[in-house]
Structure formats: C-alpha cells, structure tokens
Structure 1
Amino acid sequence: MDASFANGLAATYDTPFYAYDLSAVACRTQELMASLPEGARLFHSFKANPLPPVAEEIRLGGAQAEITSLGELHAARLAGHDLTQALYGGPGKKAAEIAAALNAGVRWFSCESWQDLKRLSEAATAAQTEVQILLRVNPAEAPDARLAMTGVESQFGFDESLLTDPEARAKVRQPGICLRGVHVYFGTQVASVGALTANTRRALETAVRLEAALDFECTVINAGGGFPWPYANNAPVPALKGLREELTTLWQASPLYPKAQLWFEAGRYLCAAAGTLVTRVLDVKPSRTRTFVVLDTGIHHLGGMAGLGRIPRSAVTFQNLSRSHAGEMTADIVGPLCTPLDSLARGLKLPVVEAGDLLAVPNVGAYGLTASLVAFLSHPAPVEISYREGEMEQVWRWRSGHQQLFPAEIPY
C-alpha cells in the first residue's frame, strides 16, 4: 500500500483501519473466472468478506452470492445481488431464518441434514413456494486441503452412507423441495492445481454415485473451491496456470456433462490480496530478554478465526509506512487487549520500529475483521475503506456495542 495514501487516511480516520483496493478485487475475480471451465459458475463466499463495496466488485466480475446468515443476505442485497440466484448454506438454519430468506427472494439452499431438509420443506410449504436444493455431502474420501471440512468426521453435510441407504430415496422427496444437485466442499487453502483438480474429481464422482442412489437428475454440482492465498504476509502467491485445462478435461469426461452445471466457491482468492490493515505503534517495551511492540490493533481486529491459534504467528509481515530503517529488531507484536493471547507475532524479525510509526499488514482482505473478536473489551471497530487507483470511494464501520431492548430502548 502506498505510504503517503495510507498516512493521509490515518490523519483523517485515525488507526487502525482496513483498506481494500477494489482494482485488486476486480483483477483476482477476473483471474479466477478465467481459470474455471467455460460455463462454470463462481460464487463469492461472503464469510470471507461481506463488505458491500468488495462484494459489489466481485458481483460485477460475474460471481453470485454464497451466504450463510441474514446479515450476509443483507450485505448481498446492498452489493446489488439478485437473491433469487444466491445460494444459502450453513449447518444450522433456524426456521425463522429460512422463512426470512424465502421472503427476501432466496430459492437455492444447500441442505446439510435430515432436520435441515425438514425445516426447508416446512418453510417452503408455508410460503407456498418451491426451493431448489443441493445436498451437501461428506464423502468418505479424505481431501487435499490444509483445513479439511469434509472427507473426515464433520458437522458439515450428510455422511455419504446416509444418502446411499435405500431409505434415503423416499426421505429426500418432501413437499416444497426440488432436489437439483450435490454440494461438496472439501476444505480451504488447497495448495496446488493438482489438488484442486483431484478434489473436483472427487466431487463429480460423488455426484454420479448419488444421482444413481437417490434416483434423481443431477443438474448442479457445487465442487466447492478452497482456492489459496497468503494470509497476513507476503508469501509467494499461488499459481493457477493450467487449472482451466485440467478442470475442463475432467468435466467433459464426466457423465454429468453437459446436462449439469459446474459451480465453484471462492472467498480468500477473490479479496485477500485487496486488504491491508493499517495500525500505529503505541509502545516499544523491553522486558528482560524480550521486546514487545504494542499496537493499537490485535486479535479483536485480526483474529484469524477467533484468534485461537489460526494466525501463523511467526509469519506475519509488517511494512513500516513511516520510515525506512537499515536496522532490524526481533520482537513480539501484541495488541492493546488485556490478555496474553493478544499476540499477532512472536519472535518476529522486522525493521526497527518506534512509537508512533504507521505499520501495514498485507493480504488481510479475507477473514480479517469479521473473523475476529470484535466485541472483546468493547473497543470500537476500525473503519473499512474501499479505494481505487489511490482514490478513496467508500468508508464503512462495523456496528457493535450493547443496545437495551427491554424494558425500553436507550438512545446512543
């Protein structure tokens, strides 16, 4: 991120703040769309970043919305999405939540269990409509992924054995339900073209088996994704060269081609590179054999999925936007929270920093603010700024804090 631009934003909005380069979002979206087979559909996983201007840029690049909450549904609406084309998933959907999604226009759902199917059927019947269902499946075969979500014992999806049981044919035929296909999401940060191709092959093979077992016409295979990108550091970016050719060959060899559509999901690949967290050094404190650099940000802003060990604490990159130093120091990088868990890096070698310096953490446009402990210690959420070619476009802030609902609302 350009230092003068960052310093100007810091002077106006204070620190910490997230800044998202919309040109980078557009570029990554175009790259990924070009790496998929012709005719494949791409869905933006809002869990990675639901900020409306980021989501809008991804939509303009051709992706649909993959959402898992009414908050994400609201963000998708703000980003201009046609909710009739959105996919609503998640392993725990409340009846009221399903009804609200139907009322908003959502018609496609990823179904994760028999209880989920029952709730979807009841909600569709009550709304006098029909919902399009993908059965999310947990295949027996283990995936190639850094964080496996299926292919292991998991809360996600039906174990495949439940769906190949002869009784499943009748159980999937419920009022208001139109079974359209299969959804398999193996995991995140799938490290290579070969692994991405292998996981897609497994998804297609699973769909073929279930089409026969459940006696339905499979017209959609959601093969998930897991497209990788570095997190909070300047590690080499992944290369997807050859992925389109590999996936096209695989897809065209499937008995489901060309009667079905092939879908993919992506989050971090689309928006991680666009995001920078800008923070200020509050203190540099020696303590016996260690030095602590205290920032005005921490795991409440960059929690890496709740801050419970998901951040690679020895591999965070900090760029000093205030000065250029030839020297180097080793320090623990910590935040302002009252817990020793508030650590972004330990024993990190970095250019010498001083109190007041402005630092930037790259590649945090995915699983940044909304994957963090935003409410802990009740600090205000940092502003989120979208920009393009050095020009600020929009400024947003995540709303937080208690509001009394009973016996009466109190003004803020």
Structure 2
Amino acid sequence: MKDRLSSKVQQLKPSGIRRFFDLAASMDDVISLGVGEPDFVTSWAVREASILSLERGYTSYTANAGLLELRREIEKYMQESFSVSYRSTDEIIVTVGASQALDLAMRAIINPGEEVIVVEPNFVSYSPLIELAGGKAVAIGTTEETEFKLQPEQIEQVITNNTKALLLCSPNNPTGSSLTKKELEAIAEIVRAHDLLVIADEIYAELTYDDTFTSIASLEGMKERTIIVSGFSKGFAMTGWRLGYLCAPKEIAEAMLKIHQYTMMCAPTMAQYGAIEALKNGKQDVEEMRKSYRRRRNYMVKSLNEMGLNCHLPGGAFYVFPSIKHTNLSSEQFAEQLLLEERVAVVPGNVFGKGGEGHIRCSYASSMESLEEAMKRISRFVHARQ
C-alpha cells in the first residue's frame, strides 16, 4: 500500500508536538503547558451573534472570499489597529483558520524548487507547507543571546537566485519574541533590495505586551510585497471556530482565491457572523485577556529564572522558551521525564527546528493556580538534577 502514497507526503515527519499531547492524555493529574490556545472561552457576545445567525437561517455558503460585511470589518480593523490598508473587495480573503491561510500563501507564490527563508525556532507547519507547495525551506537559526530575534545580516547570508520569500512570525511561536519597528525596518530594507516577498504570520498581533505591535506591511514599500496571515484564534479566543484571514496585493489575493475556491469554497458561515461581532465590539475582551497574559508571563519568567532555567522576557504571544541546557538533558529527554515524574506537559524545543534544542516551550495560557503548581513541580524536577 505504501507505494501508492505520495512520496512527498511519505517524507513529511509527523508533528513532534502530537506525541507529547497523546502521552499526556493517557495520564492523570497532568498540568499541560503545551497547548497553544487561550484558556478563555469565546466572549458571550460573539457566541450569541453566531447563534442568532443560525436562528435566522443564515446557513448557506457565503462568497468565496467571505462575507463582504466581515471583510469590511477586517479592512477597518487593520487600518485602525495596525495602520495597514487592504481593500475588502479584492485584497482580503476569509479562510478556515490561519493555517489554511498559510497553505494558500505558499501554494500561490511558490514554483518548484524556489526557496522560502524561515526563522528558527518556528511553528511546526512552516517547512512542511513550503515542501508540499514544491518549495524548499531555508532555515536561519536564532539564539537566546539575541532573544531569538532575526538579525538582518543573517538574511543576506542565505539569499540565492532561487529565494522567493521570507516567512516572518512576530510575535513568535514558540519563543514569544516580538520585533520592534526599528528591527523590522532593517529587515524590510534587505527585502526590498532583493525584491523578495514577505509572508507575515501576525496571528499573535493582539497579544503584544510592552511595545506597540508593528506590521511589516505598514512600512514604506512593503504593502505591495507582503501577505499578512492572521485570524481570530489567539487574540479573540476563537480557536475552535477555525476562522482566519489573508491580506495581500490584488494579484496575489486573486491567485489565492482560486485555490480557496477549489479546496474550501468558503469559511463556516456562522463563524463569520461571530467574527463580525468580535471586530465590532470585542476590543475590551481582548484587552482583558492581554492584561491577564502579561501578569502570567511576568510570573513564569521570574519563576523559571529563579529555579535556574534562563528565560528571556517575551514581547508577545503566550509562550516562554526557557533554556534547559544546564540539566544535561536533551529537550525531548527533559520533556518526557518531566511528564512522567511530575505530570507537567511541555513541548521540547527541538520540534521547532534545530535552534530549539536545549529549550522547552511552556504556554502560560492556563490559570494562575495551574501555573503556580506547575512551577513548583518543574522546580522540584530541576533541583533533583543539580
């Protein structure tokens, strides 16, 4: 049977995160710091808007690009929140989560053999999606010494005649690092000089804590070469709704829409009505979540550093990425032994690329009570090995 499968798919490695989730699910009294989703329930107003759409019988397909009302709200939201202008009529597409948006972006721009620069550590789906689109992922490693931030000169070192785009995630999953406007301007200068495209994964844009979020598309000469990938999962606590969106120049958006038409038709109708409410009236809910995450972030970083796991203060998202190198355990050994001995689930850093080895990803999208107990257990585990 194996010889009937696509060789490209056979070569893909399964998600490294899934193994630990499956193991944790089979055990009792586990505190999970591994899940990359908010612990908040979607606001009642958003749920009510979706329920109302069902009661009114709005159960048909929408336009392929999504409800025009929703696209208008996204246009307004992007302009008011991030100073980025994309037209609702032909430059915005509503997708089935940000994951589908990433897939559409890759397939729309990559020709066989073309290269996309990815910044490690990075979200586990980036390289597989590039490869499935026929491209080649070229990794740039970042380190804790620079708080896992991409350095502009690193881009110059890997650019070839086949380089098509730079895939940038800020705030970053798994490190939480967030690039400042000044840092993005230095990166944009190189992108323009080499006529590259940028795929900007901005799914954590709402969850920036110490600086104002800057979209690279807002910088001079960047909108026309940037595809923004975002959605409602993280900032609006709507993971299960599977609703994302793309903002891109008209020609690229049209190409992505063709793929979307043949593969998904449209995003779920009732979820789109919920998202309209989220954009119109959900800013206060987002702000309350952001404040809570900031408190949890500060607590976790302080606790981890006190127990000897060096950890920088992330600028966004809801992850910390502490070093476990001094324990002399690999990332996988640390994560597996911690789970078995102390019933705390974290994600080994190596699943996010080679640069992640020697680190673990811990999500602080859990209650303070759970985080406090998890820190006690991790501290006990670490001190037992000193």
Q: Which TM-score applies when normalising by structure 1?
A: 0.30
Q: Which has the higher contact order (CA 8 A, sep 6+)?
A: 2
Task: Pick the structure with greater CA Rg.
Answer: 1
Which has the larger helix fraction? 2
Q: Which TM-score applies when normalising by structure 2?
A: 0.32
Which has the larger strand fraction? 1
